[in-house]
Structure 1
Amino acid sequence: MRSNFLTIIFLLNSFLLLGQQRHKDIPFTQDYAIKYEGAVAAKAVDFDRNGHIQVLAESGLKRLTPGQLLVPGKIVDDNLYRFMGDKSIVDLTQVDQQLVYLDEKVIFSNAWAGSLYIEHQVESPIGFLALNKSEFLVYNPSVVTHIRAGKKVREIKLQDAIKELALGSHGGYYVLTDKAVFEGSLNSASLKSVFAKPGVVSMAVHEGHLVLAHESEGLLFLDKQHKLQKADHRLPSLKLTKVRSIDGQLWIGSDEGAFKLAQNGRYDYYASKRWLNNDRVVDIKKGPQTSVLILNAGGLSKIVFEQMTLAQKAEFYEKQSRIRHIRNGFNSHLFGMKDGDISTGYLVDSDNDGLWTSMYLASQAFRYAVTKSPEALQNTRESLDAMERLYSINPVKGFPARTFERTGHKSKLGDPEHWQKAAEKDWDWKATTSSDEAIGHIFAFGVIAEVVDVPELKQQAVKLIDSMMTHIIENDMYLVDFDGKPTLWGKWNPSYVNGFDKNIGDRKLNSSNIIGMLQTAYHFTKKPKYKEKIQELFDKHGYLENLMRPMEEIGKADKQSDNLSQLLSVYWNHSDDEMYFLGYWGLYRYALNNDLKEKYKASIIDHFEAERPEKDAVWNIMTAMTGVKDFALGDAMWFLQEYPMDLIQWTIKNSQRSDIDLLEKNFRNQYTKEVLPPDELKISRHNANRFILDGGHDGAAENSAGDIWLLPYWMGKYLQVID
């Protein structure tokens, strides 16, 4: 009988999703950086067919020690070929996937049994261009020398200082000086000036056209007749150092990071220590397999482009969250790190341990419901036990602590004045629990009670729902702390909620949250007091009208409003969005009747439309729960695919960029017309404003993927919008 019931539920759910888009989890390109540290005054980099990467520095050849994502390698002296140390190498390049070197007297290689050895007879060379294994262009600051089969074919002298050479698309080559670009032919002793303009710092032949990096005017794109086709100054940085064409993609280096031109015309920006040791780019080269090597003033970054599915990314994040982010069952973040070194961090308590853990806990419940993974079930058990202890570690019945920690020096804890001694030896607990904690708890407990088919876990979750909601009802719709007073934000009493003007967000938010919480309690306990309280709040206090109020009516308080209203409406609080959407699970799924469910659906969609520009996966996928066809699935998948695998809180800066469109100051603090990709922004949870351009903490902490990424992914899997 139970099996038939579950089949009916599955079919009903599938019917609701008819017409909705679904994401097929095919591989996408995931990028991440492997960094190699060493400020070695590097000049060039290249690699051979064995994947051996070599860096040329002023002090000689260098190699790399092993490195991986989040565990940097180092740049060290390369002593593999002992007698290379006797050479005065000035440049290196790749020929037929082998490394070839230019020193003050010869061109040579260790490949081909060391048979390549050409005396170039160029005085004070600074670089060379390889045409093939036996033909080279060697140059010093004023002369280009063509060498073929070990013999000097010709010399071409220039009046201006030579900066670099590049191969043309039809067998010729280009010479960049400090005043002009010249075109040469391998069969001619003369050069032709094709573009005269001082200030060009680098050049590349891209798709058969010359692209120039100018010191003040950005990128200059020339047509096939070498006429200026367009100038692009809308770049992440105008302080350009290099431009290179790699595997059909245009890469640009600057003093403020590297970027590449994407197919949609925007630039993908690789800056900050998430990607580079130092933002000053020295050179950019193709790397092994599908990687790109970015030589910078602080070392070398290998940007890896790997084909990956969301399922594989989830596996990576599952390991990340378990190995470094579980504290007594809580989903915590690593803190106190030194310059991004994860080995130096420690797990830290948070005001919102219960909230972040609720989101992780729900992700594992969804994961178990989808996969029946024993690991997901055990993760659910452990975090649910931590959540349950929040209720038992303090003396107030039905009241959850914010968090708990072993007794120690209080200076090590956040907000030490809010910590209380527990009756249990060696433990303290934190008071002043907030409304965002409460809604997180009820969301997670409701998810477990609904989707986890393990009776004891269901009972444990329902008991916790009943405990908190009984406390709230018995305390006149307040969370009442150990001192007998309501906490600062744990207030759903009508006199408090309706004390706000109708356009103040907290009136709508608190009404929406408490109705969802009461519905969840009634749905799983069937106790009449919860349904009766809902009806009372609807009939006597207008909570249905409050929660249905359109988002466009929410705004700033009038000047005559009270101080709290003024404080709460200076700008839109994105933490409220998180509370709303977590609350929508209980509001919509456990509605008392279909009429209410349709009303709630309209309210959720109205809110989603206001949040659509953020492209936040939680908002979008939670909206999909209603069965609406358009919930911006593509934006949600973009969020999941673009979120960086490096969750360290590096300091990020985007405000200098001229390739983004800024907006006028507004209530929602949306600073740009389009939100930037997550891997170009500082790491933030769903309660933060994703339009903030600058921020971070210099690599002092690492966030857990448990709440940021795993929740929307596994919820999407459960709701069948991700195949």
Structure 2
Amino acid sequence: MMQSPIIYALGLLLSVLSSPVAARQTLWEPVADKVFLQEKSEQVPTATAVTQVAIVGKRSFAVLDGKLQELKEGALQPVPNSPAGISKVEVFASDLWVIASSGLYRYAKNSWEKLSDDAFVDVCLHLGKVHAATRDVVYVHEMGKLTNIEPEGGYLSSDVTMLMEDGTQLLADPVKLGPVTAIASYSGTLHILRPGKLVQLSGKVVNEHLIDWGNLPSKNTHDLLSLGSRLFVSTDRGLGVLRGASLQQIKGEDGLPVEDTRELAKGFDRDVWIGTTRGAIRMQEDDWHYFGADHWLPDEQVNDIAVGENEVLIGTQGGLGIIRYEPFTLRKKSDHYEQWLDKYGHKRMGFIHTLYQYEGDWVREISDNDGAHTATYLSAMSYKYAVTGEEAARQEAVNSFQAMLWLERITPIDGLIARSIWSRKGDRGAMGQRGSGGLPAKWNATADSLWYWKGDASSDEIIAHFYSVALFHDLAAKGKEKELANEHMRRIAGYIMENGWVLIDADGQPTRWGRWNPEYLLRPYGWSDRGVNGLEALAFTYSTYALTGEERFKKGYEQLVDWGYAENTVKQKNTFPPSQIAPWDDNLAFEAYNTLLRYEKNPRLRSFYLRSLERTFEIKRMEKIPWFNFTYAAMTGNDADLEAAVQHLREWTLDCTEHNFFNSHRDDLFVEAGYTSYEGGLKAISPRETTVMRGARRAIVLDGGRNSTLIMEPTGFIRDYWMGRHYGLIQAPETTDPGLLEVDNGSGEGLGAKPYDGPERPDFLK
């Protein structure tokens, strides 16, 4: 039955009032879920290089094998009567101006017109007229023909030593324009790029002394682009930017991702697009977007760029890259990822799975951490229900909650959980043969032989259960669901405590990483884990006490405090040596922070946990990952770089396939001002420039990917967005336009893994 609006509103109010920040003033300002332009990628691979591209209205063109082709229905098709040997294509008004080996052409209204047999190098629009340059001569196109603009008597020099009193010049050799490599109109004046030198055609004078201050970054120059107050020059060591008579430089230290720049194109929103030998770059007034090979482009060598209305064509050595921009809100983006989970088959009996390729098909990975991966989605749907009151979100949460219950109920011991569950009759692919820390996998058959469950559970799974189930209990559970949530936590926490703070597996032996006992954590072997494991133990015992009221869990919690576990949490985050830095531990720690700080009110103990969170967040802050920033803001009320964290969500890619990414070659690998790298990271890489990752993601990983053979579940985004909404860190979108709140629900046929068709999971609510 749908919850009544009044009851839902009261529940939401109680949830907000009971939140950790409700009773104190917050120092953060909520961030608006404003409309932004979201990139979408498409590629058209080709056997040979795409050397030139152009956009005319809604038509897209490319040069392949020296001839003009048009993009139709995702494929390049030859344009009839195209000249051969095309080296340059530019668009003026609605006409294509084409430089070919046989001369200069204009393509208009599907018809070719040859204008000259000469060998041209560049064309531009100057004072409203098309100008075309050969190596030595510049022509203007007027009245249907080309006219040499050189004045009678030739060009004059800007060298004052050649100037006579009457204004004439006596020169031993005539002044020449060339050798011309590119031309552009800037500040009402024609500018000419020679190899390594910029000159200006001021009336009759070839001004070689136009620059009063500065130099080009390199003599290896390539392209010119005039844009407002600036004239850009691409070189192999950065960009030269002419402003008036000052030539400035933009290099890696200024934020330019790749200094070896080649092609330049005007963008659609006061931006500049740059083609390089290692990808494409979008330069905005205060930001840089880097688009590399695999995810965005067929090849890293960019030969040309053309920009239309919210669309960019990028010609590369391996084909055509297309980047389209569509208005989105974060709410719409979350809806995209929710539909992705369904269409690609990431869901199975309430569990959430990564997909991988197996014998030519996509199959679900039955992993080491199915509970932990499902916990992220369970928390996401719990947050969403708390914000929206949508019963559909609550039912998603209930379904995943039952999957979490099953991981404990399937084992023969109350309180022992499985890592994952394999169906003998319904699952495809291969059962993983590797277990925790490289040990052999521990698969156990059920009595009816329908299922196998994977043993040797670790601390990862334990804290994920408590974090997500406690959150579900507080935000989404009703009636018997709350009872089952309490019982689930009671059984697991009780089992661990009864066994001396160790998780005992079905074989009677401790699991490798399921250890929270002082004999491990307060001895040399487990010393590096004493902070994070101690934080987990404190979180799961106190949260169980808070929800069940059973004194044994309070006593267990107090025993941990007496052992010094609370103090040890302060420096739980390892930063050195590198071998001790485990990124997944950050995820576990923040699940524990989210759990423990929601319930613990004792000021003395909270001081330890808050100091721990302060220290850990300062280390993670440079990565701008919402999961860390939102947790810190929600649990402390302090400022947490929310604008940067929300921007991080906007920069997630819509495609969840794990394409390869490469950033270690970049020239902008520096830590931004205002941040400090405590873990040795060179730069926080935007998710646009990496790939979709789960909760243990790190923004300082430069290279990676899985050759496009794995599809990651995008639950991290869904969880972080609705978490932000729940705590008021992200405001609801102001727009009511359905097209900006939801994506079109297509059929999704043929995508991802086939539906699961094996025996069903038990229903624990019956």
Normalised by the length of structure 1, the TM-score is 0.85
| Inter-partner Cα distance in structure 2 for 1:323 and 1:480 | 39
Aligned to 2:139: 145
What SS does the corresponding residue of 1:123 show, helix, strand or coil?
coil
Whether 2:518 is the aligned partner of 1:498: answer no
Query: 1-side partners of 2:657 and 2:429: how far apart?
Result: 26
Among 156, 165, 185, which residue is 1:167 paired with? 185
- Say yes or no: does 1:632 pair with 2:626: no
1:76 is matched with 76
Contact 2:263 2:304 in 1 (8 A): yes
Query: C-alpha separation between the residues in 2 aligned to 1:160 and 1:626?
Result: 66
User: Which of 601, 617, 623 pairs up with 1:608?
Assistant: 617
- Secondary structure of the structure 2 residue equivalent to 1:644: coil
Does structure 2 retain, via aligned residues, the 8 Å contact 1:21–1:629?
A: no
2:98 maps to 1:93: no
2:366 alignment counterpart: 349
Amino acid at match of 1:441: H
> What is the aligned partner in structure 1 of residue 68 from structure 2?
61
Aligned partner of residue 698 in structure 1, secondary structure:
coil
Find 1:295's aligned residue among 305, 315, 319: 315
**Secondary structure of the corresponding residue to residue 581 of structure 2:** coil
Matched with 2:600 is: 591
The amino acid across from 1:63 in the alignment is: E
Letter in 1 for 2:696: N
Change (3 A) 1:608 1:209: closer
Residue-by-residue CA offset, 1:640-688 (whole Å, 9 max, x unaligned): 122222332222222222222279xx9953222x523222235433324
Matched with 2:694 is 685
1:543 corresponds, among 565, 568, 575, to 565
Taking the TM superposition and a 5 Å limit, the aligned residue runs for 1:350-499 are 350-407=367-424, 411-415=430-434, 417-499=441-523
When residues 275 and 491 of structure 1 are mapped into structure 2, their CA distance, relative to the original with a 3 A threshold, is same
Q: Deviations over 1:386-409 (max 9, x none)?
A: 222212333232211111122379
Distance in 1 (CA, whole Å) between partners of 2:358 and 2:233 is: 41
Cα distance change, pair 648–409 in 1 and its aligned pair in 2 (3 A): closer
Deviations 1:586-631 (A, max 9, x none): 2111226455445533433333233222222111211223242323
Question: Which blocks of at least 5 consecutive residues in structure 2 are unaligned?
Answer: 1-5, 151-174, 211-215, 435-439, 732-766
Change (3 A) 1:425 1:616: same
Give the stretch that moved more between structures: 488-497 or 190-199: 190-199
Specify the alignment match of 2:117 in structure 1.
Answer: 122
Give the counterpart of 1:229 among 238, 248, 251. Answer: 248
Distance (whole Å) between structure 2 residues aligned to residue 602 and residue 714 of structure 1: 26
Contact persistence 2:177–2:206 (CA under 8 A): no
Deviations 1:14-49 (A, max 9, x none): 743643421221223433433222244323211222
Match of 2:265 among 223, 237, 244: 244
Aligned to 2:530: 507
Number of the residue aligned with 1:318: 338
- CA–CA distance in structure 1, aligned partners of residues 105 and 412 of structure 2: 80
Name the residue aligned to 1:330: 351
Q: Is the 8 A contact 2:66 2:86 kept in 1?
A: no
**Residues 434-457 of structure 1: CA distance to partner in whole angstroms, max 9, x if unpaired?**
101100011111011111142233
> How many angstroms does 1:178 deviate by?
3.3
Distance in 2 between residues matched to 1:310 and 1:4, nearest whole Å: 26
Name the structure 2 match of 1:648. 657
Amino acid at match of 1:239: D
Sort the Cα spacing of 1:117 and 1:391 in 2 relative to 1 into closer, same or farther, 3 A: closer
Assess if the C-alpha contact under 8 Å between 1:147 and 1:154 holds in 2: no
1:433, 1:487 within 8 Å by CA — same for their partners in 2?
Answer: yes
- Secondary structure of 1:345's partner? strand
Query: Contact (CA 8 Å) 1:275, 1:303: kept in 2 or not?
Result: yes
Counterpart of 2:680 (choices 667, 670, 677) is 670
TM, length-normalised to structure 2 = 0.80
**Aligned partners of 1:412 and 1:4: how far apart in 2?**
47
Matched ranges for 1:39-58 at <5 A: 39-49=47-57, 51-58=58-65
**Given that residues 282 and 288 in structure 2 are in contact (C-alpha distance below 8 angstroms), is that contact kept between their aligned partners in structure 1?**
yes
Larger mean CA deviation between 586-595 and 440-449 belongs to 586-595
**Which residue type is aligned with residue 253 of structure 1?**
G
2:723 — aligned with what? 715
- Larger deviation: 409-418 or 684-693? 409-418
User: What secondary structure sits across from 2:658 in the alignment?
Assistant: coil
Structure 1 letter corresponding to 2:30: R
Closer/same/farther in 2, CA of residues 714 and 233 from structure 1, 3 Å limit: closer
Query: Does structure 1 retain, via aligned residues, the 8 Å contact 2:660–2:703?
Result: yes
Change beyond 3 A, Cα 1:65–1:505: farther
Kept after mapping to 2: 8 A contact 1:127/1:139 = yes
Conserved in 2, the CA contact under 8 Å of 1:404 and 1:428? yes
What aligned pairs does 1:165-314 form with structure 2 within 5 A after superposition? 165-170=183-188, 172-178=189-195, 180-184=197-201, 192-193=207-208, 198-215=219-236, 217-225=237-245, 228-230=247-249, 232=251, 234=253, 235-247=256-268, 248-264=270-286, 267-287=288-308, 289-314=309-334
The residue matched to 1:398 in structure 2 has which SS?
coil
* Superimposed CA distance per residue, residues 351-402 of structure 1 (whole angstroms, 9 cap, x where no aligned partner): 1111111111110111112112233123212222222221233323221111
User: Could you tell me which amino acid in structure 2 is paired with residue 537 of structure 1?
Assistant: L
Contact 1:519 1:592 in 2 (8 A): no
Calculate percent identity across the aligned residue pairs: 24
Task: Give 3-state SS (helix, strand or coil) of 2:711's partner.
Answer: coil
**How far does the alpha carbon of each residue in 1:71-118 deviate from its partner, in whole angstroms, 9 at most, with x for none?**
xx4x42145xxx44588866443232454556646644443xx6x875
> 2:532–2:572: 8 Å Cα contact kept in structure 1?
no
Q: Tell me the C-alpha RMSD between the 2 structures.
A: 3.3
The aligned amino acid for 1:267 is: W
Per-residue deviation, residues 480-521 of structure 1 (Å, max 9, x unmatched): 11111110010112222222499x441121111111101121
Contact 2:597–2:609 under 8 Å retained in 1? yes
Worse-matched range after superposition: 195-204 or 359-368: 195-204
**Aligned position for 1:576:** 585
Q: Structure 1 pair 56/661, CA: closer, same or farther in 2 (3 Å)?
A: same
Q: Distance in 2 between matches of 1:492 and 1:386?
A: 25
- 1:202 positional shift: 1.5
Structure 2 residue matching 1:384: 3-state secondary structure: helix
Distance 1:165 1:586, change over 3 A: same
Distance in 2 (CA, whole Å) between partners of 1:410 and 1:230 is 54
Alpha-carbon distance in structure 1 between the residues aligned to 2:280 and 2:396: 40
SS of residue paired to 1:465: helix
How far has the Cα of 1:262 moved from its partner?
A: 3.3
CA 1:686–1:409: 2 relative to 1, 3 Å: closer
How much does 1:240 deviate? 2.4
Deviation at 1:127, TM superposition (A): 5.0
Question: What is the CA–CA distance in structure 2 between the aligned matches of 1:638 and 1:257, rounded to whole Å?
Answer: 22
Q: 1:620 aligns with which of 629, 644, 662?
A: 629
In 2: Cα distance, 1:335 partner to 1:602 partner: 41
Structure 1 residue ranges without an equivalent (≥5): 67-72, 558-568
Higher RCO (C-alpha 8 Å, min separation 6): 2
